[in-house]
């Protein structure tokens, strides 16, 4: 990646009226609060398109918000008015949560000009920038062609091969969940982690206001987790959402091909045939 995957609020404010820039409000309720209402109804960046992660997922999977087939994704993007060649800027209401997942989703679907708004809605609002509480003017359908980038997506078999070969798998869950000392928020999942995986809780990469930390601080966090950034890294978490924050942070540091394990612990920890370890990495 030749440029940063992040854009600033200043940059977006300057480009907001550009017809080639599409702003996307990423939405996914926190796993512990599934009934949380989207903030989009009350306030969003002018013209932003609402992107419901669960609604734009694989309807045939029993795992949460898995990547949809490319033809399904293409169809949904066309209806939203998102097309080939546009510059997509993704943000969320927490500062950094579901935006990274949606950024990764677009990249996995072959989009190269997609970015995350650093600091998201909290920073935009704190700076007194414009907001609206009405649906944007409907966009006409545009042609969108999704082409899956297999190098950015990991399934259970790939993760197992990486671990067996002594490769790097990095888990974004909390230290207690990784060690197996805390229950999983989703019922029916075992405690612990994949044998050989390392742990870097995603909040360690964020400032208090939701922005990603400086590149220097990000590098120190990956180094402290025992990650060799010159080698391949697969990221994982509970359900493939906060793993994308690790992948985004790695992209900031120039490591732009860190695949996300889409099924993550919801798949691995919900099976009887997957090995599980407990304790710290």
What residues are labeled active site?
Answer: 237
d(CA 105, CA 67): 7
Contact between 25 and 94 under an 8 Å Cβ cutoff? The reply is no
Contact between 169 and 269 under an 8 Å Cβ cutoff? The reply is no
Question: Count of alpha carbons within 13 Å of 183, Cβ hemisphere only?
Answer: 5
DSSP 253: T
The token duo for 137 is: 């003017």
What 3-state DSSP class applies to 235?
A: strand
Distant-in-sequence, close-in-space partners of 179: CB < 8 Å, separation ≥ 6? 192, 193, 278, 279, 280
Distant-in-sequence, close-in-space partners of 165: CB < 8 Å, separation ≥ 6? none
- Residue-level length of the chain: 281
CB atoms inside a 10 Å sphere around CB 280: 12
Between the alpha carbon of residue 1 and those of residues 174, 253, 258, the distances in Å are 29, 10, 12
d(CA 273, CA 148): 28
What distance lies between CA 77 and its chain's CA centroid?
18
d(CA 146, CA 144): 6
């Amino acid at each position: 990646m030749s440029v940063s995957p992040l854009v600033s609020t200043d940059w977006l404010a300057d480009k907001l009226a550009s017809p080639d820039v599409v702003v996307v409000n990423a939405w996914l309720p926190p796993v512990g609060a599934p009934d949380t209402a989207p903030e989009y109804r009350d306030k969003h960046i002018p013209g932003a398109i609402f992107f419901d992660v669960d609604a734009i997922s694989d309807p045939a999977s029993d795992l949460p918000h898995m990547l949809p087939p490319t033809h399904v994704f293409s169809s949904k993007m066309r209806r939203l008015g998102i097309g080939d060649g546009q510059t997509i800027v993704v943000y969320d209401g927490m500062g950094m949560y579901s935006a990274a997942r949606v950024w990764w989703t677009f990249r996995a679907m072959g989009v190269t000009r997609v970015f995350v708004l650093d600091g998201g809605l909290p920073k935009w609002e704190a700076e007194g920038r414009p907001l609206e509480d009405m649906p944007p003017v409907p966009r006409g359908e545009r042609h969108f062609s999704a082409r899956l980038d297999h190098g950015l997506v990991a399934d259970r078999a790939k993760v197992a091969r990486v671990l067996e070969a002594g490769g790097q798998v990095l888990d974004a869950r909390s230290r207690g969940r990784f060690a197996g000392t805390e229950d999983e928020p989703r019922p029916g999942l075992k405690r612990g982690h994949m044998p050989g995986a390392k742990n870097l809780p995603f909040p360690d990469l964020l400032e208090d206001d939701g922005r990603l930390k400086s590149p220097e601080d990000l590098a120190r966090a990956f180094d402290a987790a025992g990650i060799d950034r010159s080698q391949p890294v697969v990221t994982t978490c509970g359900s493939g959402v906060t793993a994308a924050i690790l992948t985004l942070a790695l992209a900031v540091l120039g490591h732009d091909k860190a695949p996300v394990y889409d099924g993550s612990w919801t798949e691995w920890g919900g099976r009887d045939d997957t090995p599980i370890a407990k304790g710290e990495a």
